[in-house]
Amino acid sequence: MGYHRAGFDVIGVDIKPQPRYPFDFVNYEALAFAQAHGHEFDAIHASPPCQAHTPLRKMWNAKRHEDLIPQTRELLNRLGRSFVMENVPGAKLECLPIFGVYRLMLCGTMFDLRTECGAELQRHRFFEMNWPHRLAPSCRHGQSGVVGVYGDHVQDRRRVVTVTGSTPQQNVVRNRGRKTYSIEDAKTAMGIDWMTMATLSQAIPPAYTEFIGKQLIEAI
């Protein structure tokens, strides 16, 4: 949606059906599609699966997830088109300006994204690109609630400290009692009203890609 608002005609590609996708959609394995058709496009935005890089990978019941960033990068470089590759904090995205590789971090607070009740969206995402970009605004983390949109729930991401004893040794930090929000709150904070919770939790706000897309059109 962000690239559409920036002026692009958008075609989405995913190995899983996306019935709520608002633009033209191809149900296909993304790397194979890019290999066959990438040369037909002005620019490519790639979002390799993030599960191999999130903190959830360290859970006791975590499944093994393949890191597709290296082979995605190799394909994008070989296609020779302007590209953007997005992923979560912890992913190995490169920043080598001397070789024409740039990295950008965006956060919801840069665009004043929040719920109706004022909980801000601190959703950091990193972008690797093969064209120079302008500096992004600074994060503006405040003291209000922090809405977290992930998994199957929407809740305040701040740590809740509960004092359970009269001495420091007896104090315990717990994550219980966090404020929860509705899926409508999540949609408002993300700027997305067409997704289910399952897809919303893996999405990036259109404000991010609109910011990037306007610069990408100029670069092209």
Which residues are within 8 A (CB) of 21 and not within 5 positions of it... i.e. 6 or more apart?
12, 14
- Mean pLDDT on 17-46: 96
Q: Counting beta carbons within 10 angstroms of the beta carbon of residue 173, is it exposed (0 to 12), middle (13 to 18) or buried (19 or more)?
A: exposed
What would the mean pLDDT of 183-192 be, rounded to a whole number?
93
Output the six-digit token pair for 186. Answer: 């999540």
CA distance 48 to 24: 20
- Rg (C-alpha) for the chain, rounded Å, is 19
Indicate the average pLDDT of the chain.
Answer: 86
Name the domain count of the chain.
Answer: 1
Residue 65 tokens, joined: 């997830």
- Return the percentage of the chain with pLDDT > 90, whole number: 64
For residues 40-57, one letter each, b for 16 or more C-beta atoms within 10 angstroms of the residue's C-beta and e for the rest, the string is ebebbbbbbbbbbbbeee
Is the separation of the CB atoms in 155 and 181 below 8 Å? Answer: yes
**Of 80-94, 113-127, 146-160, 178-192, which gets the smallest average pLDDT?**
146-160
Per-residue model confidence as pLDDT tens digits over 43-92: 999 999 866 556 555 554 556 668 899 999 999 999 999 999 999 998 88
**DSSP, res 143:** S
User: Could you list the residue range(s) of the whole structural domain that residue 29 is in?
Assistant: 2-219
Asked whether the predicted pLDDT for residue 146 surpasses 60, the reply is: yes
Q: pLDDT: is 152 or 39 the higher one?
A: 39
In whole angstroms, give the CA distance from residue 57 to residue 64: 8
